[in-house]
Structure 1
Amino acid sequence: MIKRLLLTFALAFSGPSAANGARLFDDSVGDFLDAATAAVTAPPFTACGWFRSDDSTDTAQVIFAVGQAGTDNFWRVRARNAPLSIEFGVEQTMPAVDIKINTTNTWAQDVWACWCAVEAATDDHRIFLEGAGKSTSATDIAPKSVDTTEIGRSDDGSPGDNFSGDLGHIVMWDFALSDNEVATVCQPTIRMWNYRPADQIRYWGVNGQTVEPDSRGTVNLTVTGATVSEEPPIPHPIIAP
């Protein structure tokens, strides 16, 4: 009876959980996930997730991108080297404008870390690593005709910059998280997919299913390579979604 009560209590306060795992991306063979649908088409929005790169010498590794296939219209998050920062790039054509902002703190090879890109408005762009290291831009820019979502690479006319390492749990909200909220969802004790779920528009567990489902919407991702790997350092799920 006591065990049953404890389990009931745990389920009530844990909220819905994701399945275990992440995906290992091999840049040498070009692993990626994608959908011919844009996860979002305009601000405001916030995107956050977990990554663990196994290559600190690679110049640029795409973690997440929403854009127009084959063009330089996109929102894109990349892991950079020299220094080992997280970059949020926003680019548009006609007229051609682009920005790249990089976190002021750094990541380490083979160590899990949390990233967050906040697009509060067309002239309010923010990027965070581990809930800190904030960098911003006030350049007025908005990608046009976006129609593609990708994890692990970016199809910007010459697909590449493939990620090398593990990616897991990417969540999107339909508003701009505050700095304090970003710091909250990046805590390793927090399951970010349980934070304000009513305001979430996308959630991919990136956890090894044949098709990676969007459990908050309909942007399901086709899988190219990317084998199952271990879970990021967040609380172990009690139940599956």
Structure 2
Amino acid sequence: MVEEVKLFNTWSSPFGLRIVWALKLKGIQYESVEEDLTNKSPLLLQYNPVYKKVPVLVHNGLPVVESCIILEYIDETWKQNPLLPEDPHKRAAARFWAKFGDDKVISSLWAILTKEGKEREEASVQAIENLKFLEEELKGKRFFGGERIGFLDIAMGWLVNLVPVTEEILGFEVIDKEVFPNLSGWMLEFSGVPAIKENLPPHDKLVAEFRAYLATAPDN
């Protein structure tokens, strides 16, 4: 039986990008369905009626939603090039840090970009504290997953395209190479892997989209 694999996504979504990378690393053929988030398709709303968001993976007609859950589904369904470690404690740790990234790191970096004055300063302090945890987690490792890309690398991979965008818009470094040598090295290493590099959104296009969003967004 020919498997049907569809990914409902939008080109700029850092969460959708996780799924693209995972499918590419596993060598899974899929159909990409580009969504306009200002005019969501009936199929997207049908497949994800609770959150009404991308990404949505549809495998043989059955939808899976939420990017980290989709990553685990992909890893359990297609066994080649495993993403999560075999060791239960290491698996739990990877899930923990992925959740930390989504709950803490993204929000603190987003606050630097969208706030001003004292609020931006406070967000910068919080972001640095959060990034220090990741810096320590990478100590002595090539990737978060060890010597090869794993679940946590993909979950934290948004750093390699959104941090440079943030730095260009703000005009200063968010991840200083001297303060965060491990994290900076990981970003270079990760973004240089062909499956990652070939599927990164265009930097200039992302900068333009973020600038447009910030120009029209209500005060935060």
What is the TM-score normalised by the length of structure 2?
A: 0.29
* Structure with the larger RCO, 1 or 2 (CA within 8 Å, 6+ apart): 1
Bigger share in helix: 2
Bigger share in strand: 1
What is the TM-score normalised by the length of structure 1?
A: 0.27
